[in-house]
Chain A
Amino acid sequence: MLLNIKNLHVAINGKEILKGLDLSVNKGEVHAIMGPNGTGKSTLAAAITGREGYEITQGEIVYNGEVINNMAPDVRANRGIFLSFQYPVEIPGVSMTNFMRTAINAQREFNGLAPIPAGEFLKKMEKMKKLVDINTKLTKRSVNEGFSGGEKKKNEIFQMAMLEPKLAILDETDSGLDIDALKVVARGVNELRSDENAFVVITHYQRLLDYIVPDFVHVMYDGQIVKSGGKGLALELEDKGYDWIIDQVDE
């Protein structure tokens, strides 16, 4: 099992947001996490990636057989956990190219490898830029600076492609995307899917799941996963909304 979350409780400033969440993800699987606003979806992503201020009060996150509750974010990243940010951050003064090379070399160093040779790096950049249809001009700019909303999201998938994570969490990567950009993002994910990695796709809408077909769909409500099913569940949600599930839970 790649990721095994057991009875996870997470608090922000003492306020409990996740209230006993369980989730298991195997290699080769795509899981979709859906649910109304404010139910803890992004908190789950933050807890898995180790963001400061998200306190695990109970339960554990096991990744690749190891409890990672207290592991630093960069160590988790180097072990193969990637987050596509809902709101990618602009970093003025740091070029995209240099940022990417620094990240790749950090990962390689972690794995006991020498820094990536310049030629190999450039070749990989070219390939992945094509994959997500990213303009060369963008990689010469500072990280995310002056990128449009769609470009920022494509840039997240580009970075994912460059870093080849084992577990990728896509936090509302579809929000604010037009249909063409959405297709590009989905194509990127589908190209990278393999038996060796897994994806957790957080989304509000069924739309993205037309292009990234999930193996499992989970519904979050009030800090827990309250319903799980196959891809059919997403269609049902599209049709009927969340109220029927909430009613079931409240009963």
Chain B
Amino acid sequence: MQKSDTTYKLLEASIVSEFERKQVELTGLCHPAVSRSRMRAFEFLKNSGLPDRKNEKWKNSPFPGQYEEEFLLDIPPVYYDRAMEEIFKCEVPGFWADKYSMLNGWYYSTKENQLITTGEGVVIGSILKAQHQFPELFEKHFGKIVRADQDGFTAANTALFKDGMFVYVPDGVEVKNAVQLIKLINRQEPLMVNSRNLIILGKNSRLTFLHCDDSVNHTPSFINTLTEVFVGENSSFELYKLQNLNDSTSLINNTFIHQEQDSRLKVNILSLNGGKIRNELHANLMGQGADVDINGVYLMDKQQHIDNQVYVNHAVPNCHSNELFKGVLDEEASGIFNGYIYVARDAQQTNAFQRNNNILMTPKATIDTMPYLEIYADDVKCSHGATVGQLDEEALFYMMQRGIGKEDARLLLLFAFLAEVTSKVSIEALRISYEDMIKRRLQGELSICDKCVLHCSVPDKPVEFDIDLSKI
């Protein structure tokens, strides 16, 4: 049924009219693949709008409650006038990542650095630039992993995205330093930012990518990010997502990944802070021998909301998948975990595991956790498990009886609970940063960092902790 103007919610109406106003610009100046996707997305939006709670996948989500709020969609381009570090400090000495940034949905760099090619042929930069310089890559990959009309948010993103990041790693290249994308929102009025990333790994290559979403101020914003990743045969992709947003920001973080034969994907999502966060991750195992390991930690309090939707699609035989999500919900925070595992009819010898463990710190904190396994093959190993519990009072007393203060005992227990996930971060320096952030978050120090969250362990503000947690 087609929606009419009168049934659009404010945000839906804004999205539709923004596209209509900018159609020439949005579809005329871009790659044909982008243009086609945008048109398809717009048709879908016009007819179906954004997902509402009648949609099974959104039934407990607070996002639809926001569709009557006003957000600015027509965000003027941001021109580079000062180094990113002046807006947002994120320099950890001797760090192992090369930093790139986006500001209010625009790729933020000097003109000459909008799209760079390294000596090894790795291309990094703005997706706007890349579509013209690498048309064949866009023809092959853009909009191929996600359908433009997957749902209202992928459609809104496809129709309206202004900019985003593009990374291309050629066959046989192992990128040494991690690529870190720092996405910031810094405006006084509420924005809706649609940004789009495309990451392509050729055969036998390797890339580590950090995707950081941060707020600089306390203005509400609505971020709708979509990332498509193509992982070529026998390649490794590690994806880290760090989310440290203000309490009035809503983040839709959609990631769609295509894995070729014998490829390896490792994901680690750390949701530290944010008003509402929905991480939707689709891992499509399309070649035999592919392996995926998806992990997440979430620490929510106040009235924050976290939603992790993980879809693992075992389309072919002999693949392996593992999911581990652990979270602590305090005060009146709410959470959702949905773990979908789909095993196609011929995907024999599939191994798929899933676990979600939660600690609720108060009677008002809630978590909805649901495994969803759809298995059409008969020779598979699949398992799932979910727990919801409280902090172990017995253990708390035991520790206090040994002289450890209640607050330290609580921290030690929570940290030990989460360590199972953080210990999987394979880059030592990043793992330490992760753990520092978690400690600070658990101590209530980190709401929104005035600096990059990865900055937390630099000497000017050391992480003091009575307990040496490094040995546990």
Contacts and interface: CB of A to CB of B under 8 A. Distances in A.
Interface of A: 49, 51-52, 72-74, 77-78, 82-83, 85, 88-95, 97-99, 101-103, 105-107, 109-110, 142, 159, 163
B400 A89 contact: no
A73 B408 contact: no
B383 to A, nearest CB: 20
B468 A101 contact: yes
B416 A91 contact: yes
Contact of A49 (B394, B401, B409): B401
B443 to A, nearest CB: 16
Nearest to B420: A93
B72 interface: no
A98 B470 CA distance: 9
Contacts of B394: 89
Contact of B401 (A77, A95, A105): A77
B412 interface: yes
Given A88-B398, A91-B392, 4 more contacts: A74-B401, A74-B406, A89-B392, A102-B468
B398 A98 contact: no
A94 B416 contact: yes
B471 interface: yes
B467 A52 contact: no
B419 interface: yes
Contacts of A94: 412-413, 416, 472
B403 interface: yes
B404 interface: yes
A85 B413 contact: no
A83 B395 CA distance: 14
B417 A93 contact: yes
B398 A95 contact: no
Given A52-B397, A89-B394, A103 B472 contact: no
B82 interface: no
Question: Which of the listed residues A78, A82, A106 has the most CB atoms from chain B within 10 Å of its own CB?
Answer: A106
B403 A74 contact: yes
B181 to A, nearest CB: 32
A90 B392 CA distance: 10
B471 A95 contact: yes
A73 B400 contact: yes
B413 A102 contact: no
Query: Which 9 pairs show the lowest CB-CB distances between chains A and B?
Result: A93-B416, A103-B402, A77-B403, A89-B398, A73-B400, A106-B403, A74-B400, A78-B403, A98-B471
B386 interface: no
Q: Give the interface SS of chain A, mostly helix, strand, loop or mixed.
A: helix
Question: Which of the listed residues B395, B398, B409, B417 has the most CB atoms from chain A within 10 Å of its own CB?
Answer: B398
Question: Which of the listed residues A77, A88, A102 has the most CB atoms from chain B within 10 Å of its own CB?
Answer: A102
B399 interface: yes
Interface in B415-466: 415-417, 419-420, 466
B405 interface: yes
A163 B404 CA distance: 12
A105 B398 contact: no
B403 A107 contact: yes
B69 interface: no
B393 interface: yes
A98 B402 contact: no
B403 A91 contact: no
Contacts of B413: 91, 94
Contacts of A90: 395
A106 B412 CA distance: 13
A92 B419 CA distance: 10
A95 B416 CA distance: 9
Given A73-B397, A93-B416, A94-B413, A163 B403 contact: yes
A73 B397 CA distance: 8
Given A94-B413, A98-B467, A103 B395 contact: no
A52 B396 CA distance: 11
A92 B402 CA distance: 17
Contact of A85 (B398, B404, B420): B398
Nearest to A94: B416
A103 B398 contact: no
B417 A103 contact: no
Contacts of A73: 397, 400-401
A74 B404 contact: yes
B420 to A, nearest CB: 7
A116 to B, nearest CB: 12
A117 to B, nearest CB: 13
A95 B415 CA distance: 12
Contacts of B472: 93-95, 98
A103 B416 contact: no
20 contacts: A72-B400, A73-B401, A74-B401, A74-B409, A78-B403, A85-B398, A89-B397, A89-B398, A91-B398, A93-B416, A93-B419, A94-B412, A94-B413, A94-B416, A99-B399, A102-B404, A102-B468, A103-B403, A106-B403, A107-B403
Contacts of B404: 74, 102-103, 106
